[in-house]
């Protein structure tokens, strides 16, 4: 009799244990793995880390990081081929550098266009923008700009024979970079601009090796080096709102990512992004630490 009771009790315990395991498995968020990339400059690496950290916190998905890969076409090519599932991209870059369309100054039209065309042509999805507009701009040393009375891009025409310029290789090739700029404004520098790595360009202008450089509006090195952002008085540069660009196949496999990543929409303005860039570029804080600090301070992760 005692033996029968023990057998019943053991069977009941085993059944309850299996039921509990079944419930636990059902409550778990779907696991899996995705790969996140970024281009080869500070802001991109911060955003790549931010996306990775947030996904890891909000889901059970494992994240492989392939950050600091290179320029636009390297990341975009890797995304199309499936080597990446996701990377942060800019609407203006998508419009002009990838779709090869003319620059548009209305941000809503740009976002609507890239959303439609990327889905149709590449089966890629733009999620909601982070909130900041890292448009291209031209900058000079603040004291030099004041000395010449230069406050907007058109003012440079008077000094085109004497000013030395330096731009990144990508800016020199993009239709929304130097080629489009000189056509739109009707002048170019007498001496061909020097090619610079993005990390060396700011030091060069601050030391006087060049007088004018291209820059991004959210770059923390602009205030750090006391640079003057020249007004785009003829409205050449299109809006560059950063947003997650992701494979539709990845969203089909992990549909929760749309809701999760759209939580980051409109969370970062230009000042916040510039501050994060400054923390890395001038204060030497790690990209991952800066991204994590932002997410924690804004109550996005614990």
pLDDT in tens, 190-212: 999 999 988 799 999 999 999 99
Q: Which of 128, 88, 132 is nearest to 272 (CA)?
A: 132
Q: Select from 229, 258, 275 the last residue of a domain.
A: 229
- Answer yes or no: do 190 and 248 share one domain: no
Q: Is residue 64 one of the residues assigned to a domain?
A: yes
Q: Helices 287-297 and 42-58 sit at what angle, rounded to 10 degrees?
A: 50
Please give the Cα distance from 211 to 225 (Å, whole number): 13
- Answer yes or no: do 254 and 129 share one domain: yes
Whether residue 34 has pLDDT greater than 90 = yes
Q: Once rounded to an integer, what is the mean pLDDT over residues 36-65? A: 97
pLDDT band at 10 (very low <50, low <70, confident <90, very high): very low
pLDDT band at 13 (very low <50, low <70, confident <90, very high): very low
- Answer yes or no: do 116 and 157 share one domain: no
- Answer yes or no: do 72 and 198 share one domain: no
Q: CB atoms < 10 A from the CB of 37, how many?
A: 26
Q: Is residue 235 one of the residues assigned to a domain?
A: no
Q: Select from 229, 252, 277 the last residue of a domain.
A: 229
pLDDT band at 8 (very low <50, low <70, confident <90, very high): very low
Which tokens belong to 270? Answer: 């230009």
CATH number at residue 168: 3.40.190.120
- Answer yes or no: do 152 and 282 share one domain: no
SS (H, E, C) the chain: CHHHHHHHHHHHHHHHHHHHHHHHHHHCCCEEEEEEEEECCHHHHHHHHHHHHHHHHHCEEEEEEEEEEECHHHHHHHHHHCCCCEEEEEHHHHHHHHCCCCCCCCHHHHHHHHHHHHHHHHCEEECCCCCCECCEEEEEEHHHHHHHCCCEHHHHHHHCCCCCEEEEHHHHHCCCCHHHHHHHHCCCCCCCCEEECHHHHHHHHHCCCCCEEEEECCCCHHHHCCEEECECCCCCCCCCEEEEEEEHHHHHHCCHHHHHHHCCCCCCCHHHHHHHHHHHHCCCCCHHHHHHHHHHHCCCCC
pLDDT 10s digits, 92-120: 999 999 999 988 889 999 999 999 999 99
Which tokens belong to 2? Answer: 């005692």
Q: What angle do CA 162, 182, 72 make, to 5 degrees?
A: 115
- Answer yes or no: do 224 and 244 share one domain: no
Q: Select from 196, 229, 262 the last residue of a domain.
A: 229
- Answer yes or no: do 271 and 126 share one domain: yes
Structure confidence at residue 270 (pLDDT): 86
Structure confidence at residue 110 (pLDDT): 96
Please give the Cα distance from 14 to 19 (Å, whole number): 9
Please indicate, yes or no, whether the overall pTM of this predicted structure exceeds 0.85: no
CATH number at residue 277: 3.40.190.10
Q: What total number of domains does the chain contain? A: 2
- Answer yes or no: do 128 and 148 share one domain: no
Domain range spanning residue 129?
31-133+240-297
Whether residue 127 has pLDDT greater than 90 = yes
Q: Is residue 39 one of the residues assigned to a domain?
A: yes
């Amino acid at each position: 009799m005692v033996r029968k009771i023990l057998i019943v009790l053991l069977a009941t315990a085993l059944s309850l244990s299996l039921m509990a395991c079944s419930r636990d498995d059902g409550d778990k968020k779907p696991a899996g793995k995705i790969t996140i990339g970024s281009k080869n400059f500070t802001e991109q690496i911060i955003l790549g880390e931010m996306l990775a950290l947030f996904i890891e916190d909000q889901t059970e998905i494992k994240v492989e990081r392939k950050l600091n890969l290179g320029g636009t076409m390297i990341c975009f090519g890797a995304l199309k081929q499936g080597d990446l599932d996701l990377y942060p991209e800019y609407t203006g870059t998508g419009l002009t550098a990838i779709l090869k369309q003319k620059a548009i100054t209305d941000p809503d039209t740009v976002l609507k266009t890239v959303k439609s065309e990327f889905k149709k042509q590449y089966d890629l999805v733009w999620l909601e923008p982070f909130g900041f507009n890292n448009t291209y701009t031209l900058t000079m040393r603040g004291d030099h700009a004041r000395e010449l009375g230069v406050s907007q891009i058109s003012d440079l025409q008077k000094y085109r024979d004497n000013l030395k310029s330096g731009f990144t290789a990508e800016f020199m090739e993009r239709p929304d970079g130097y080629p489009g700029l000189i056509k739109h404004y009707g002048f170019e520098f007498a001496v061909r601009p020097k090619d610079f790595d993005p990390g060396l360009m700011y030091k060069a202008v601050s030391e006087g090796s060049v007088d004018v450089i291209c820059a991004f509006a959210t770059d923390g090195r602009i205030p750090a080096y006391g640079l003057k952002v020249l007004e785009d008085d003829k409205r050449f540069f299109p809006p560059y709102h950063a947003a997650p660009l992701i494979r539709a196949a990845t969203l089909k496999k992990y549909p929760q990512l749309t809701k999760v990543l759209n939580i980051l929409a409109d969370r970062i303005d230009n000042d916040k992004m510039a501050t994060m860039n400054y923390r890395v570029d001038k204060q030497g804080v790690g990209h991952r630490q800066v991204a994590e600090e932002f997410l924690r301070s804004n109550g996005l992760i614990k």
